[in-house]
Amino acid sequence: MSQQQGVQEQGFTGHGRGFFKAFLIEAALYAGIGSYAAMAHCVPPLRVVLISLLVFVSLRFFLTLGNWLPTWKNRSPKRAEHEIGCAATVAMLLREWWAAILTYPFLFAFEPWLVPNNPPAGLAHKGLPVVLVPGFFTNRGYLYAWRKYLLRNGYGQVYCVSPEPIFAGVEPNAEHLARFVDEVLQDTGAERVILIGHSMGGLVIRLYLHRFGGLAKSALAIAVGSPLNGTVLAEGKENMGPIIQQLTSGNAWAAALTAEAEAQPCPIPFITLVSPHDSIVAPQSNARVAAHYGREITLPGVGHMEMVNSTQVMRVLKQELDAFNHD
| Same domain for 99 and 155 | no
Domain boundary among 58, 78, 109: 109
Give pLDDT, residue 22: 79
Distance CA 193, CA 1 (A): 14
144 shares its domain with 52: no
Are 266 and 299 members of one domain?
Answer: yes
Residue 88 included in any domain: yes
Q: Is residue 8 one of the residues assigned to a domain?
A: no
Quick one: pLDDT at residue 46? 83
Distance of CA 46 to the CA centre of its chain: 36
pLDDT score, position 53: 85
Encode the chain (327 residues) as per-residue pLDDT tens digits. 444 467 876 666 666 677 777 778 888 887 787 777 777 777 787 887 888 888 888 999 999 999 999 999 999 999 999 999 999 999 999 999 999 998 877 888 888 888 888 899 889 999 999 999 999 988 999 999 999 999 999 999 999 998 888 778 999 999 999 999 999 999 999 999 999 999 999 999 999 999 999 999 999 999 999 999 999 999 998 888 899 999 999 999 999 999 999 999 999 999 999 999 999 999 999 999 999 999 999 999 999 999 999 999 999 999 999 999 986
Helix (H, G, I), strand (E, B) or coil at 193: strand
Among candidate residues 76, 109, 142, the one where a domain is terminated: 109
Q: Is 158 helix (H, G, I), strand (E, B) or coil?
A: strand
Q: Mark whether 197 and 48 lie in a shared domain.
A: no
d(CA 282, CA 72): 8
- Same domain, yes or no: 121 and 65: no
- Structurally, how many domains does the chain consist of? 2
Range of the domain at 195: 112-326
On whether the CB atoms of residues 277 and 301 are closer than 8 A, the answer is yes
276 and 135 housed in the same domain: yes
Q: Is residue 33 part of a domain?
A: yes
* Torsion sign (Cα): 302, 307, 312, 318: positive
Find the CATH number of the domain harbouring 240. 3.40.50.1820
Q: Is residue 6 part of a domain?
A: no
Edge-to-edge, what's the strand order for the sheet holding 295-298? 158-160, 130-133, 193-198, 218-224, 270-274, 295-298
* Nearest-angstrom CA–CA distance, 118 and 3: 9
Is residue 118 domain-shared with residue 228, that is, in the same domain?
yes
Residues 6+ apart with CB under 8 A from 202: 133, 135, 222, 223, 224, 225, 226, 228, 272
The answer on 133 and 103 residing in a single domain is no
Give yes or no: residues 96 and 141 share one domain. no
Q: Is 132 helix (H, G, I), strand (E, B) or coil?
A: strand
189 assigned to some structural domain? yes
Confidence at residue 213, expressed as pLDDT on a 0 to 100 scale = 98
The last residue of a domain, from among 109, 125, 160: 109
- Asked whether residue 266 is assigned to any structural domain, the reply reads yes
311-326 vs 144-152: helix crossing angle, rounded to 10: 50
CA distances from 232 to 4, 31, 43, 208 (A): 44, 37, 44, 24
| Measured CA distances, 94 to 135, 226, 305 (Å) | 21, 21, 11
Provide the β-strand partners of residue 243. Answer: none
Question: What is the model's pLDDT at position 164?
Answer: 80
Residues 44 and 117 both lie in one domain? no
The reported pTM is: 0.93
